[in-house]
Structure 1
Amino acid sequence: MNDTTPDSLIPYDEIVQDALRGVVTRVLKRIQEEGGLPGGHHFYIAFRTRAPGVVIPQHLLERYPDEMTIVIQHRYWDLEVGPEQFSIGLSFNQMPSLLTIPYDAVVGFVDPAVNFALQFPPKDGEGPSEPPAGPDSPEPPKPDDGGDDDGSNVVTLDRFRRK
């Protein structure tokens, strides 16, 4: 018998990743339709800032030239969920910003309230996402909820990545 597996002419990995990105789309669509997040649910969404179709303010692109993570929890507005991308209003250091993020740019989705996480390989020939962090990774900061912190909605997903 031959121990080599033939190369597939069907891109199963890509099909599965697209289906999993559909989970993100469906969850965001549900939040849009229901007008908010139920219970303690909140999301960390990591994305490649230079992926095709991403629209973010220049100051955020300069601060996060490769990847950033947004928090969707208490303060967001104008969530619009489309078939290829979503847009959302968030505040960064008390500066309101509108972001447009194609699902193909998303590399991570986490709902820590229920310990749910998805991680995606970058699309469109982009390099790999950051390697998983070790067990000593710091807690991500809390999102802007009107407290005295810097108001940033950017956190790291490293603590949710599997080794």
Structure 2
Amino acid sequence: MARTPTRTIDYGNLMHRAMQGLISEVLQGVAENGLPGEHHFFITFDTREDGVEIADWLRDRYPEEMTIVIQNWFSNLTVNPDGFTITLNFGNSPEPLVIPFSALRTFVDPSVEFGLRFETQDVEDEDEDEPDGEDGFDEDDTVEEPATKPKGGSGAEVVSLDKWRK
């Protein structure tokens, strides 16, 4: 008796796309109007991901992950459906970066204690004949953990910012 594959709602993939859309919308607003108030972002991304374009010396220094800060000095921020480009200052040297949304690992806005973490799991596709679902009904290979820390102080911290503080 052959077992019929069961289709399930892929909440992880749906959340992943929704969180990427949220980041896209936030960055598009910043590209058009600048950073409002005290907002600033710590964005960690996988430098090995397809589509990431960074200077060779940055890739040598950050062979797996890199965290950028969008705050005081940035230019040429553009957002497209797949990711964003930005020029940042590294030791008085402007460097353009191309970062696909698929490379994002964390997005944190410490001014309002908001953060998102994107975790990936290496799961082998058991059924190679099945197409990847754009409808959200497939096996989940990505887990998102949106997290906010309420003003009351109870809640999980997504990223410790202590390592960036002087």
Same fold (TM over 0.5): yes
Q: CA deviation at 1:82?
A: 0.7
For residues 85 and 51 of structure 1, what CA distance do their matches in structure 2 show?
12
Q: CA deviation at 1:7?
A: 5.9
Map Cα deviations across residues 109-142 of structure 1 (whole Å, 9 max, x no partner).
00000000000013887xx9xxxxx9xx672336
Q: CA deviation at 1:16?
A: 1.0
Q: Is the 8 A contact 1:107 1:119 kept in 2?
A: yes
For residues 84 and 122 of structure 2, what CA distance do their matches in structure 1 show?
18
How well do the aligned residues superpose, as a CA RMSD in angstroms? 2.5
Structure 2 counterparts to residues 54-69 of structure 1, below 5 A: 54-69=52-67
- Structure 1's 45 and 116: CA in aligned 2 closer, same or farther, altered over 3 A? same
- Counterpart of 2:69 (choices 68, 71, 80) is 71
Q: Greater relative contact order: 1 or 2 (C-alpha under 8 angstroms, separation 6 or more)?
A: 2
Identity in percent: 43
**Which structure carries more strand by proportion?**
2
Structure 2 counterparts to residues 127-142 of structure 1, below 5 A: 139-141=162-164
For residues 164 and 8 of structure 2, what CA distance do their matches in structure 1 show?
44
Map Cα deviations across residues 77-129 of structure 1 (whole Å, 9 max, x no partner).
0000111110000011222100000000001000000000000013887xx9x
For residues 124 and 100 of structure 1, what CA distance do their matches in structure 2 show?
24
Gaps of 5+ in 1: 1-5, 129-133, 143-148, 150-163
TM-score norm. by structure 1 comes to 0.71
| Paired residue total | 128
Q: State whether structure 2 residue 26 is matched by structure 1 residue 42.
A: no
Q: Which runs of 4+ in 1 moved over 3 A?
A: 6-10, 122-125
- Counterpart of 1:93 (choices 91, 99, 106) is 91
TM-score norm. by structure 2 comes to 0.70
The corresponding residue for 1:105 is 103
Q: CA deviation at 1:8?
A: 4.5
